[in-house]
Amino acid sequence: MRRSPKETEDSARQVHRRSLLLGGAMTAMFAVLGARMRYLSVEQGDQFKLLAEENRISIRLLPPTRGLIQDRNGKLLAGNEQNYRVVITREDAGDVNAVLSKLAHVIPLTEDDLERATKEVKRNSPFAPITVADRVTWEDLSKVALNAPSLPGVSPEVGLSRVYPRDVDFAHILGYVGPVSEKDLAGIEAPDPLLTIPKFQIGKIGVERWMEDTLRGRAGTKRIEVNAVGRVMRELERQEGTPGADIRLTINADVQNFVQARLGDEAASAVVMDVQTGDIIAIVSAPSFDPNLFVRGISHADYNQLTENDHRPLANKTVQGLYPPGSTFKMITALAGLKEGVIAVDKHESCPGYLEVADRRFHCWKRSGHGKVNLERALSESCDVFFYEIAQKVGIDKIAEMGRRLGLGVRHDIPMSAIAEGIMPNKAWKSERHKAEWRIGDTINASIGQGYVLTSPLQLAVMTARIATGREIKPRLVHAIDGKVVPIEDQESLGIDAIALSKVRAGMYSVINAERGTAKSSRIVDEALKWAGKTGTSQVRNISAAERARGVIANEQLPWDRRDHALFVGFAPYDNPRYAVSVVVEHGGGGSTAAAPIARDVILSALSEGLPPLSAYPSSQRNRIASMLEKLPLRDADGALPSPSRS
């Protein structure tokens, strides 16, 4: 059937209209798609680029180089050594257990290693690299690198680990570093991101801990490209961190080594201070330990050996050890008596060998007594009764005030761990601590450094430095940080009468140089180096009246841990003081026989900055001293110890 011209025209018009509508719709659709594409590619391009980058780029923290620690002359005490390790990243590894199993066939790994790594992988962020093996050999590191395609997420790394080249000499000063623990993090309000890196090491005790923020530095970053299975393809960018600051201590490494060697296996401690600046030249606690064991991961056997040793090698006796000061405290009682005017220049006290107070006898160490004694002789021969008499007249509060003025019962602020405050008791202290009244017997005991009085070797060295100078000398352990010298604190006058100080110093001089001085055998014959000091012996057990009646048991007949502590304090040279020293030998017996000889060797070492000169000793002692010095295991110029055959 033929269409009419009108029908044909109407049909063509409809097709044209539909074409226009369809074309318009398609144009609109393409316009919307174009606008969307422009939005995604231009306006949102950076965001999608970042998302894409995150799929193939990993950003990791770079631990900074830990600051060095040196002695006053620049000798290395704590440094960093190259360390090869193998790490695994959970996000890149996929099946961690399977990868670790493969790794165990490439390098030697124990069951404990695998178990520890598995636990740490689960506990930490999937993006955090976990150390599987530390301190691996170059050969094992190479094996891991060669097998990298079959070990997704596993990376060989080269880092730095802490090392202490002078090990035992500085263990109690420097301390050591170790992995960050939950306990460490719990004590920090806003932890440095570095601390979240598994196995990242921080200072645990000593200077390493108390100057952690200074030594640590700031982290760097690196951007690495990884493929679909997590293998590192290349490093795209690296921004190094800021190294930690180097610290220079006031310690002289050679003197420190001499003192450590001289104390040997004794349970003992010694402190040497510069009396002009407060610089600590040596501070030694014996026996010591090797801090490198803790950095590398100490074994149970080694740790048990340290903790079960009755000489307590892990304890820092110089600052946390507290001892009755014994007769080294008598200078405090004397200065309190001089200040209060109860000791006259020509006044003598009678010592029959004891003092009776309230139906109780307080004995002098010399059973037959010293007879008539003045202050100088009382110090020289260490007469107890003289100080009993003085203490009764002065009272404990005045004695305690003088003790604190001279640095006892005070926590001295140096960057070492567990610094003890000690006890400088008075009436208020006993009332608060023991809920009891102070008694005259307490005063008498305190006057000779017994009873409640407890001091540390550091405090005794500070006391001696202050007596030697009359100034408020404060101990100082850090000499410089990154080359910038730490200022010395103001050293104000103690406000003690100069004549009173000179009389006490004269008594200390007689202790060593008078015919009947308790430390006469430890004198120095070199006129330019002559010194002054005070012996001390502190009891660690009560002596009953019955034992006194039949004769006090000699120290050498008692078990080691029941013997008296031996103490000595001194300064040299006498005419121009430069160094003060304190020595405590636990259960060493008498201060004159056990502590004084060590103190003399130590202070001569400080004065000579090395081996004591034989010419400073009495001629009759030189052969014995030379033989003793020859046997000491002293380090050479490079810090190395002698071979076992030589020592």
Catalytic positions: 327
Structure tokens at 183: 């306990």
Residue 517's H or E segment, with its range, is none
Beta bridge partners of 48: none
3 state DSSP class of 73: coil
Give the Cα separation of 258 and 521 in Å (integer): 21
Q: Taking a C-beta distance cutoff of 8 angstroms, is the pair 256, 77 a contact?
A: no
Beta bridge partners of 583: 270, 568
Structure tokens at 622: 């030189």
Look-up of token digits 């952690």:
212
Structure tokens at 114: 């695998």
Strand residue runs (E) in 259-342: 268-274, 280-286
Q: Taking a C-beta distance cutoff of 8 angstroms, is the pair 178, 204 a contact?
A: yes
Q: Taking a C-beta distance cutoff of 8 angstroms, is the pair 385, 355 a contact?
A: yes
Structure tokens at 617: 């000793």
Of 643, 457, 423, 467, residue with least CA distance to 571: 467
Q: Taking a C-beta distance cutoff of 8 angstroms, is the pair 206, 417 a contact?
A: yes
Compute the CA torsion angle 315, 317, 318, 323 (nearest 10 deg).
150
Look-up of token digits 């293998």:
231
Sign of the Cα torsion 464, 469, 471, 475 reads: negative
Give the Cα separation of 214 and 203 in Å (integer): 11
3 state DSSP class of 326: helix
CA angle 405, 410, 412 (to 5 degrees): 110
Find the distance separating the first CA and the last CA of the chain, reported in whole Å.
129
Q: What residues have CB less than 8 Å from 38, skipping those under 6 apart?
A: none
Eight-class DSSP state of 286: E
For residue 440, give the amino acid letter.
Answer: I
Eight-class DSSP state of 168: G
3-class SS letters over 218-263 = ECEEEEEEECCCCCEEEEEEEECCECCCCEEECCCHHHHHHHHHHH
Give the Cα separation of 383 and 387 in Å (integer): 7
Distance of CA 475 to the CA centre of its chain: 15
Give the Cα separation of 551 and 486 in Å (integer): 55
For residue 124, give the amino acid letter.
Answer: N
